[in-house]
Amino acid sequence: MRPVAKNEACAVDSSASDARVSPIADIGPVSEGQHASFELGVGTIDLTPSQRERFDALYREHFDFVFRNLRRMGVPAASVDDALQDVYLAAFRRIADYREGTHEKAWLFAIAMHVARNHRRAERRRGVPVMLAEERLEASEPGPFDLTAREEARRVLHEFLESVEDNRRAVFVLSELEQLSAPEIAQALRANLNTVYSWQRLARAEFVRFLARRQGDVPRG
Residue 192 has pLDDT above 80, yes or no: yes
Quote the DSSP letter at residue 116: H
pTM listed for this prediction: 0.69
pLDDT tens per residue, range 120-130: 888 777 765 54
**Quick check: 45 and 8 in contact, CB under 8 A?**
no
Which residues make up the CATH 1.10.1740.10 domain(s) of the chain?
22-130
Least confident of 90-99, 151-160, 178-187, 205-214: 151-160
pLDDT greater than 80 at residue 183:
yes
The residue-averaged pLDDT of 196-211 equals 95
CB count in 10 Å sphere of residue 219: 10
Classify burial at 18, counting beta carbons within 10 Å of its beta carbon; exposed 0-12, middle 13-18, buried 19 or more. exposed
State the DSSP H helix or E strand holding residue 30, giving kind and residue range, or none if neither: none
Measured between alpha carbons, how far is 90 from 19 in angstroms, rounded to an integer?
36
| Amino acid 2: pLDDT | 36
- Tell me the per-residue pLDDT of 29-53, one tens digit each, with 9 for 90 and over: 444 444 434 455 555 567 788 888 9
Residue 34's alpha-carbon distances to 81, 102, 113, 120, 185, in angstroms, are: 11, 27, 22, 24, 28
Asked whether the beta carbons of 61 and 105 are under 8 A apart, the reply is no
* Residue ranges, CATH 1.10.10.10, the chain: 142-221
State which fold the 22-130 domain adopts. Rna Polymerase Sigma Factor; Chain: A (1.10.1740)
Task: Give how far the C-alpha of residue 205 lies from the chain's centroid of Cα atoms, to the nearest Å.
Answer: 20
Q: Which of 44-58, 74-88, 93-107, 133-147 has the lowest mean pLDDT?
A: 133-147
Given a contact cutoff of 8 angstroms between Cβ atoms, the answer to whether 203 and 171 are in contact is: yes
| Rounded Cα gap, residues 205 and 208, in angstroms | 5
Which CATH number, 3.90.1150.10, 1.10.10.10, 3.40.470.10, 1.10.3720.10, labels domain 142-221?
Answer: 1.10.10.10
Distance CA 79, CA 25 (A): 23
Maximal C-alpha separation, the chain: 59
Task: Give the pLDDT of residue 137.
Answer: 40
The predicted-structure confidence for 76-87, as pLDDT tens digits, reads as follows 888 899 999 999
- When pLDDT is averaged across residues 131-140 and rounded to a whole number, the result is 45
pLDDT at site 219: 53
Contact assessment for residue 211 and residue 10, using Cβ atoms and an 8 Å cutoff: no
Q: 200 with 172: CB under 8 angstroms?
A: yes
pLDDT in the model for residue 120? 84
